[in-house]
Amino acid sequence: MPKEKVTFKQPKSNIKQLRDKQGLSQLKLAVDVGVTPNTIQNWENSKGLANIEKVIRLCKTLECTIEDLIEYVEVEIDEKTQQKSKGKGLSKQQIRELNK
């Protein structure tokens, strides 16, 4: 029997591409936004989210809209992966409901 796969949308940061387009280093962007370079690195790797004040500063510094900062990409997981993550995220049924 084939394993059931579930597809859902996951946020992906565009901060690195926008930062590169402006010719900014992580350090310079961090100083402009008021955070550490490590925070910028985490945001670029889609680890954690900025508070609204920092998002506004990011948009001003990177000359972009909020929608430009994050895109949603489709991710597919199989039943085995879903079982490993039980208790850590959404169930397959919850994911299906969100995608409707």
For the segment 39-85, what is each residue's pLDDT rounded down to a tens digit? 999 999 988 877 889 999 999 999 999 889 888 888 787 766 555 44
- With the C-alpha atoms ordered 17, 88, 55, 67, is the resulting torsion angle positive or negative? positive
Q: Which long-range contacts (CB under 8 A, 24 or more apart) does 88-94 make?
A: 90/8, 92/4, 92/6
Q: In this structure, are residues 13 and 70 in contact, taking their beta carbons and an 8 Å threshold?
A: yes
Q: Domain count of the chain?
A: 1
What CATH number does residue 33 fall under? 1.10.260.40
pLDDT at 91 over 80: no
Q: 47: helix, coil or strand? A: coil
Show the domain range for 12: 5-99
pTM of the model: 0.63
Q: pLDDT band for 87, please (50, 70, 90 cuts).
A: very low
Q: Identify the DSSP state of 2.
A: P
Q: pLDDT band for 35, please (50, 70, 90 cuts).
A: very high
Q: pLDDT band for 86, please (50, 70, 90 cuts).
A: very low
